[in-house]
């Protein structure tokens, strides 16, 4: 029996106002992960959970991805929609991540509201777990989920980044 070859992805870095972002792309130039340099071990763990063995090689991310992210951080919030992304994960995680990508910039939603939207109103914790397993921060906007009482809860990149992203998008906290 032959061992499965590791998934091979490119790794690039992008300076942003809230730290250096790690950009993981595949051979087709599609974004597979976006996380923060100070959370690289967590990102590698998420990639390993989704793809098994993973090999990351320093490679420039496609210019279009970097331009869209720079545009977002300069205030053009719609730039993120131009980024092609692909994830592994379970069918439920895919449902959550697809729903996250549809939450408009400048708005928030509670975990419970997203669970209800997915026709799984009792699955708030499962939504939270899927949200926390999202490998594509910012682009798949897990930062837009908040507590039922409006509080900022749980963000893999840290609550200060979550606060900054929401305020950048015009959310009044």
> What is the domain-level CATH number for residue 24?
3.30.160
**Same structural domain for residues 33 and 77?**
yes
Residue 118, domain extent: 91-168
How many domains does the chain fold into?
2
Annotated catalytic residue, options 87, 123, 142, 146: 142
Dihedrals phi, psi of 10, to nearest 5 degrees? -90, 150
CA dihedral 36, 69, 58, 19 (to 10 degrees): -30
Please check whether residue 2 lies inside any domain of the structure: no
pTM here is 0.93
- 67 with 105, same domain: the answer is no
Shared domain for 145 and 102, answered yes or no, is: yes
CA gap 132, 144 in Å, rounded: 12
- Catalytic status, residue 142: yes
Residues 95 and 62 in one domain: no
Torsion angle of alpha carbons 75, 81, 86, 89, nearest 10°?
A: 80
Provide the residue-wise pLDDT of the chain in tens; the chain has 173 residues.
555 566 899 999 999 999 999 999 999 999 999 999 999 999 999 999 999 989 999 999 999 999 999 999 999 999 999 999 999 999 999 999 999 999 999 999 999 999 999 999 999 999 999 999 999 999 999 999 999 999 998 888 899 999 999 999 999 98
115: its two tokens: 């669970």
18 and 75 housed in the same domain: yes
Residue with tokens 């939450």: 103
End position of a domain, from candidates 62, 82, 102: 82
| Co-location of 102 and 154 in the same domain | yes
* Same domain, yes or no: 72 and 95: no
């Amino acid at each position: 029996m032959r061992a499965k070859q590791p998934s091979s992805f490119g790794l690039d870095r992008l300076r942003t106002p809230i730290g250096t972002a790690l950009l993981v792309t595949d051979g087709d130039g599609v974004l597979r992960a976006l996380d923060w340099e100070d959370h690289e071990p967590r990102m590698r763990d998420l990639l390993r959970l989704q793809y098994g063995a993973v090999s990351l090689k320093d490679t420039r991310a496609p210019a279009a991805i970097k331009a869209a992210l720079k545009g977002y951080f300069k205030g053009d919030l719609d730039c993120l929609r131009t980024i092609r992304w692909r994830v592994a994960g379970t069918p439920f995680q895919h449902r959550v991540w697809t729903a996250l990508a549809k939450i408009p910039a400048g708005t928030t939603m509670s975990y419970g509201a997203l669970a209800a939207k997915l026709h799984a109103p009792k699955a708030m914790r499962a939504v939270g777990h899927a949200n926390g397993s999202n490998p594509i921060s910012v682009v798949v906007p897990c930062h837009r989920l908040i507590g039922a009482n409006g509080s900022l809860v749980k963000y893999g990149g840290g609550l200060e980044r979550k606060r900054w992203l929401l305020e950048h998008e015009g959310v009044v906290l």
